[in-house]
A and B are shown apart, each in its own frame.
Chain A
Amino acid sequence: MKTNPIEIVDRGRGLQLSTSRITVQDLVPYFQEGCSPDEIIRWIPTLTHEEIAVVERYYLDHKKELDSEDRRIRERNAQRKNPPWVEKILEESRSERLARMTRQRDGNPNGSPGEGNSRGC
C-alpha cells in the first residue's frame, strides 16, 4: 500500500505538515524547551512520532529563521487584546454569572424580593 510522504508544505497559512494542519511554528516552542515527542503528543494528540520527526528535522535545519519568527509571533500575540467594549461585555457577563450562581446556591433562582437597584429600608 502506498502512503503519502510526510512533508513540510505551504498552503497559505505558514509552513505546515502535508498530513496535518499543525504548522511548523506550532511546534517550535516545544523544540525550544526540549520536549520529547511523547510530551508533544500529550498536548497535540493527533500528531504521530513520524510527523514530529519531520518538523523537528526542518526546525534544526532552519533554527535561526524559525526562532526569529517565533519571537515576532510572541510579540504580536502579546499585543493582541480584546477591544474595550468587548471587555465591558465580558465583565458584565461575569457579574451576571456570579449573581445567578449566588441565587442558585441560596435556593432562590428568581432572585430575592426587592433585589435590584433599590437599597430597601
Chain B
Amino acid sequence: MKGILADVNVQGYVDYLVAILRAEPWRLFWDDLKISYLHFSDVGLDAKSPDTLVWESCQQRELVLITANRNQDDPESLEATIRARNTANSLPVLTIGDIQYLRHSRDYATRVIEKLLDTLDGIEALRGTGRLYLP
C-alpha cells in the first residue's frame, strides 16, 4: 500500500485529519507509515469520475480510498463496484461513519484518527475485506 486517496465528498475532512496526523503528538505515527496522502487531481481523476474508475485507480496504484457513504446501493454505486470486483488482494475502502459529526467533535476526530492508524498499520491483513468503517 502506497498511500491514501480522499474522495471528493470528504476531501476537506481528510485534509483536516491528515493535518492533525502531521502534527504532534501524532506525527511519529504518521511518519512511521511512510505513505502519501493524495487528492483526485494527483492521480488524474476528476471530480465526476465514476465509482468503478475510482476503485480501479486505487487498486492499480495501491491506494486506500477514504470516503463517506451517503449514496444508494444502486448498480453503479461504489458498494456494487466492490461486490463485483473485489478480490482477496484488493485494498479495502475506508468509510467515515458520521462525516457531519467530524465537523463538530474533536473527540470523534481523535477516534477516527486512531481507527485510521489501526487500519493502515494492519492493511496487509485486511486486503479483500471490501469496505471497512472508521467509527
Contact = CB atoms under 8 A, between A and B. Distances in A.
Given A21-B50, A29-B100, A94 B12 contact: no
Nearest to B76: A12
Interface stretch (A54-62, A76-84, A110-118): A76-84
B21 to A, nearest CB: 13
Given A20-B47, A77-B98, A80-B97, A45 B12 contact: yes
A90 B115 contact: yes
B133 interface: yes
Contacts of A26: 9, 68, 70-71
B117 A97 contact: yes
B97 A44 contact: no
Contacts of A97: 29, 32, 117-118, 121
B128 to A, nearest CB: 11
Contacts of B99: 29
A33 B47 CA distance: 24
B60 interface: no
Interface in B53-79: 54, 68-72, 74-78
B8 A22 contact: yes
A3 to B, nearest CB: 14
Given A77-B69, A92-B122, A93-B121, A101 B32 contact: yes
Contacts of B38: none
Contacts of A53: none
Contacts of B51: 13, 21
Interface of A: 11-14, 17-23, 25-26, 28-29, 33, 42-46, 73, 77-78, 80-82, 86, 89-94, 96-97, 100-101, 104
8 contacts: A13-B76, A18-B48, A19-B48, A89-B126, A90-B118, A93-B125, A97-B32, A101-B32
